[in-house]
Chain A
Amino acid sequence: MALAQLEPLLRQVQKPGRYTGGEPGSVQKNAAETALRYALCFPDTYEIGMSHLGMKILYGLANARADCWCERVFAPWIDMEALLREHGLPLWGLESGDPIAGFDLIGFTLQYEMSYSNILNMLDLARIPLRSAERATLAPLVIAGGPCACNPEPLAPFFDLFVLGEGEEVSEELLDLLLEHKRNNSDKQTFLRAAARIPGIYVPALYEVNYNGDGTVAAVTPKENAPFPVRKRIVEDLDGVYFPEQFVVPLLEVVHDRTVTELFRGCIRGCRFCQAGFLSRPVREKSHGTVDRQCRALCENTGYEEVSLCSLSTSDYQELPALLEELLAWTQEQKINVSVPSLRIDRFPKEMMERLALVRRSGLTFAPEAGTQRLRDVINKNITEEQILSAVRQAFGGGWTAVKLYFMLGLPTETQEDISGIAQLAQRIVDAYYQHPEKPKGKGVSVSVSAASFVPKPFTPFQWEPMDTCGQLREKQALLRASVGSKKISVSCHHVEISLLEGAFARGDRRLAAVLEEAWRRGARFDGWDDQFQPGLWEECFARCGLDPLFYTARRRDFDEVLPWDHLDYGVSRRFLRREMERALCAETTPHCRERCAGCGIGCKGAP
């Protein structure tokens, strides 16, 4: 879209910088000379999408090809949506300003179930028919990937294909294939049949789902020789795989605005609630030389003054001391901060800690997830109260005064004792502060407790478990608040109806597509935002479609029930997940992968 058309709208919206493009690092190409136009869509605001590492990787990767021009698209905020509709302007790519309906490929990243209504809204704003069956031509092909692609069934009718697992290699293969078929003038069906043969690509239209009378899935049947099951892709060599040397540097403040790189993918821990941990197995590390080189290049090219090392459990990175040695040498000189999230400071050399603290005094956060040791054993969260207390004591001595704690309410086997245990743990941290001989002078301590609702997710040992109802969650939140006895402790909880909806879509089947479409038609947008979410609207849409969210959330599934995602294979075996579930019920922990292989089925090369 020409800036002239957008201009009068920009003056009427909040944060117009979300829509202008033109940031340093954004890629300009000649549309006439690029064979493929690719719209990389993030179904949430600019500020959130621009903070996402996966977007940066795929954007860089696609634009590194001479034959492809990849542009960014974010969900316009409510105010901008209204203006676009009023003025009849279609959704455009930030780089060229061109309407994306004319692009070859529309790719969405699925980070969070609550962004699904935004996907439909973006397609509609782009004037692209919502359902795959309504789009007869090869272009635009509408695809998605990301963690929620592990159970994409509620979205199945809208997408032509899903990418399971890590996207770098599949993206290249898919772009190659698309280019070939575009040149040959193939029809969409021919292309999709060919695409389904690329490992990691799931074409939902090639699978038929039948249901039992009680609403459970009877069978998923592949058609036209489509692969069964469809196995996720992983990148073997993280040192060799594409990684950008340049990021688009936003001109307005976004959530995470800094250089970021991963240390490794996967997780050795096996926390039983953690979908990310199971989906991303096995563990594969980048060498510290690679990490250091990537950080240097990115800092040079972006001008960022902060480096963040991210991974699921950073302390498990085996080359961390060597990496920090290297990183701190140049970052200190260039006044660049290094932040290492989810660092377990109890296991860290004190001297290194001081150097890190010197550069960056980031907040002190812990994720015990549960309030008692028993429940932490149930979820296999390997952290003890004593570890937390000794870490905060050390930190208080070093000048920290704020502690953040993350918990979940509604975990399997949870009792009242586990909930009051959360308040007790927070209280012990407050006490530890006031008993500390070297606590910062004249300052109080603040402990903030964040209590999310536990949502059972596919490909975790809890995938068969019932989730608490809204009423149960509300009671638990009230109990937690009542158990807190100090003004130094603040409690924040999740919106229970949002959690319910997240739970329904996380383990939902294809029938939910109708609910989603209906909800979008009636105005559902930005459902993950407390101030936008409309619980009543969703309730009505479920009822209208003859479905009950509790069927998906509150029901205990039999171990032999066919789950809507059973035809997708993320490497961890059902047998292993079931074994883990049974151990959970006996509060039996499972050692991490480096201690002893638990035989999860991924068939790790590095399994000791």
Chain B
Amino acid sequence: MQNIRVRFEKRGRAVYISHLDLMRAMSRAVRRAQLPLWYTEGFRPHPYLFFPLPLPLGQESCCEALELRLERPMPPEELLRRLTAVLPEDLKVTAAAEPWSGAGEIHAAQYEMKLRFADEAAAGDWSKSAASLLEAGKLTAKKTGKQGRRRIEKEIALAPLIFHWALSSEGASVLLKAALAAGSTQNLNPALLLEALFDHAGEPLSFSILRTALLRADGTAWE
């Protein structure tokens, strides 16, 4: 038995694949690639596929991770070659290796959010108010959670979940880079942060979100 962690990009048209659909697409891809998959026991055996940090619909990423379990070892290069051959171009595998850090060690994710405005002035204004909002550290967001069986709406403070941010604007667009809490204990969806900013600073014409790196607690890359 061998565990392999595959890193892949989810870009372009692939942003419209939901997490559930991605799991289906990947499990079909690993079958097409004829990997020596390990299957669960039981009535309906299925392969072991694990996504340590699912990506929300509509966001791009160049650092997604997927863990596979093989029945017998296969050289990572071979696995990479086979997966590349069977995946659509917008889902591109970039690396494969035996994992050396656990999924629980993911602490943060780095994002690049690009916002487009009508003109340079609008971009500049937005950037300024966003900066002061972020500095003030008072942003909140509504999150639906569960309390027992009931669905409840709660307000959460965003500041403790924002580890780092930087704003820059160029022409009519603004680039917001941020490291946000990520993982199973605490997690901030960048779309939620943008929404909070839009509430106060106004909406851009369009925007895109790209996840660029997964980080450990000490700030080094999670691999």
Contact = CB atoms under 8 A, between A and B. Distances in A.
A16 B14 CA distance: 10
Given A22-B88, A24-B87, A24-B88, A302 B21 contact: no
Interface of A: 3, 8, 10-11, 16-17, 20-24, 249, 251-253, 257, 299-305, 335
Contacts of A21: 13
B32 A10 contact: no
Nearest to A304: B28
B16 interface: yes
B203 to A, nearest CB: 13
8 contacts: A3-B13, A24-B87, A251-B14, A251-B25, A302-B28, A304-B31, A305-B27, A335-B39
A249 B28 contact: yes
Given A302-B28, A303-B32, A10 B39 contact: no
Given A22-B13, A22-B88, A303 B206 contact: no
Among A10, A23, A249, A304: residue with most chain B CB under 10 A:
A249
A302 B34 CA distance: 11
Contact of B30 (A3, A11, A303): A303
B21 A303 contact: no
Contacts of A22: 12-14, 88-90
B66 to A, nearest CB: 15
A335 B46 contact: yes
Contacts of A301: 32
A512 B133 CA distance: 63
Contact of A17 (B17, B28, B87): B17
Interface residues of B, number: 27
Given A17-B21, A20-B16, A24-B86, A303 B46 contact: no
Nearest to B86: A24
Contact of B45 (A3, A249, A257, A335): A335
B58 interface: yes
Nearest to B47: A335
A253 B86 CA distance: 19
Nearest to B206: A8
Given A11-B58, A302-B28, A304-B28, A253 B21 contact: yes
Interface in B1-38: 12-14, 16-18, 20-21, 24-25, 27-32, 34
Contacts of B18: 17, 252
Contacts of A251: 14, 16-17, 21, 25, 88
B44 to A, nearest CB: 8
Contact of A24 (B21, B29, B46, B58): B29
Contacts of B46: 335
A302 B32 contact: yes
A224 to B, nearest CB: 48
A3 B39 contact: no
B64 to A, nearest CB: 15
Given A22-B13, A335-B39, A305 B31 contact: yes
A305 B39 CA distance: 13
Interface string B56-89: 0010000000000000000000000000001111
Contacts of A16: 16
Contacts of B31: 299, 303-305
Among A3, A253, A335: residue with most chain B CB under 10 A:
A335
Contacts of B28: 24, 249, 302-305
Given A24-B32, A24-B88, A253-B21, 4 more contacts: A21-B13, A22-B13, A22-B89, A299-B31
A172 B95 CA distance: 44
Contacts of B25: 24, 249, 251
Nearest to A20: B13
A300 B31 CA distance: 8
Nearest to B44: A337
Contacts of B27: 303, 305
A303 B29 contact: yes
Contacts of A300: 32, 34
A230 B132 CA distance: 76
Nearest to B37: A335
A355 to B, nearest CB: 14
Nearest to A336: B31
Contacts of A305: 27-28, 31
Contacts of A10: 16
A202 B213 CA distance: 60
A301 B33 CA distance: 9
Contacts of B88: 22-24, 251
A302 B31 CA distance: 8
Contacts of A335: 39, 45-46
A426 B86 CA distance: 48
Contacts of B89: 22
A21 B28 CA distance: 17
A249 to B, nearest CB: 6
A17 B87 CA distance: 16
Interface string B121-143: 00000000000000000000000
Q: Which 3 pairs, one residue from A and one from B, show the smallest C-beta to C-beta distance?
A: A303-B28, A303-B31, A303-B32
A253 B12 CA distance: 19
Among B13, B34, B89: residue with most chain A CB under 10 A:
B13
A305 B46 CA distance: 9
A21 B90 CA distance: 11
Contacts of B32: 24, 300-303
A446 B102 CA distance: 45
A253 B23 CA distance: 11
A490 B147 CA distance: 34
A9 to B, nearest CB: 11
Contact of B12 (A3, A8, A17, A249): A3
A27 to B, nearest CB: 13
A303 B17 contact: no
A367 B86 CA distance: 40
